[in-house]
Structure 1
Amino acid sequence: MLVASIENAEAHDYLSERLKKAYAFLRENDLGALSCGRHDIDGEDVFANVMEYDTVSAEAKKLEAHKLYYDVQCVASGIERVEVAPLEGLVCAKEYDEADDYALFESPMPATSVVLHAGEIAVLPPEDAHKPGCIAEDAPVHVKKVVVKVRA
């Protein structure tokens, strides 16, 4: 699965060596057994963050966006909805934090929603804001997720 606008899709090499390293990490590791926290793959160019949380309502969250990294988001267990919107024209809710490479934005109406089940990925480029961790069905569920950060 790939989530991107058609206008920007050709600007990215979704089969670059760095992204291939991300896909290989996700394919070759037992994601359910990975400890929470950072896992180095290729220094600051490719690394994984493993996290666990309960999904929440989309209204309780802001969209996030990154300038330096793609997100390759992979659900290891559980199910979540990820809202996606083009960064252009969004209202900033928290200015860009260079140290942590993120900014927060208000959600537009409508945003594109993608439901990720265990073993599914979404590749999110820097020009797309995203809101992961949203309730996908009727109630919150516990999710374990691996987000591989790939330098753009």
Structure 2
Amino acid sequence: MYLGKLTHWPQQRAVLPDAVNRALEALAAHDLNTMPAGRYEIDGDRLFFMIQEMITQPFDAGRPEAHRRYADIQLLLAGEEGFGVAAPDPGLAVVDDFYDSRDIAFYVTPANEQRLNLQPGDFVVFYPGELHRPGRCVGESMTIRKVVVKIDRALLGL
């Protein structure tokens, strides 16, 4: 996992994989606040982003998730978004496995889950296998606007 701020990203490029930098360059080239919700391709199914609008939910209402094929970059554009985060745990029980059809599985809550809150302009990178519980309330439920970038693991050399 990597936590950053889009305005500070140019100074942090050296520590990030080329595919992550490529994705952030593509985001920086768009006026994300005026684009409609939907999917936007950068490199077909290998690298694309989705602009999403949603209402945050209570922390305990969601389940941690992980992906096998894709890394996520989650960039908050408006509102406040909480996340649960945890390191991969091969022994953690899967509740719902949709890896084959949707590249996602939901897990029981790990004992070591931490909370992370994003403000507009903050982004977090989750690599394949890293557990995250997005879309959680920070205080009260609110509408948020965010970008989720999907990066095929092959572009990361994984």
Is this a same-fold pair by TM over 0.5?
Answer: yes
Question: 1:14 deviation in Å?
Answer: 6.0
Task: Provide the residue aligned with 1:123 in structure 2.
Answer: 125
Number of equivalences:
142
Alignment of 1:66-145 (within 5 A): 66-88=67-89, 89-137=91-139, 139-145=140-146
The answer for unaligned runs of 5 or more in structure 1 is 4-12
Separation in 1 of the partners of 2:27 and 2:80?
17
Contact 1:77 1:117 (C-alpha < 8 Å) held by counterparts: yes
- Root mean square deviation, CA, Å: 1.8
Contact 2:67 2:99 (C-alpha < 8 Å) held by counterparts: no
Q: Deviations over 1:101-151 (max 9, x none)?
A: 1101111234111111111100001121110000012x1111001000011
Separation in 1 of the partners of 2:138 and 2:29?
27
TM-score between both structures, scaled by the size of structure 2: 0.83
Separation in 1 of the partners of 2:59 and 2:15?
28
Q: Is 1:63 paired with 2:64? A: yes
Separation in 2 of the partners of 1:14 and 1:57?
33
- Name the SS of the counterpart of 1:33 in structure 2: coil
Q: Is 1:31 paired with 2:24? A: no
Alignment of 1:41-60 (within 5 A): 41-60=42-61
- Name the SS of the counterpart of 1:108 in structure 2: coil
Task: Provide the residue aligned with 1:7 in structure 2.
Answer: none
Question: 1:43 deviation in Å?
Answer: 1.2
Contact 1:21 1:46 (C-alpha < 8 Å) held by counterparts: no
Contact 1:18 1:45 (C-alpha < 8 Å) held by counterparts: no
Contact 1:21 1:41 (C-alpha < 8 Å) held by counterparts: no
- Name the SS of the counterpart of 2:23 in structure 1: helix
Q: Which has the higher helix share?
A: 2
**What code does the residue aligned with 1:102 have?**
I
The answer for unaligned runs of 5 or more in structure 2 is 4-13, 154-158
Question: 1:36 deviation in Å?
Answer: 1.1
Separation in 2 of the partners of 1:141 and 1:115?
14
Q: Deviations over 1:30-79 (max 9, x none)?
A: 22112111100111111001111110111111111100111000001111
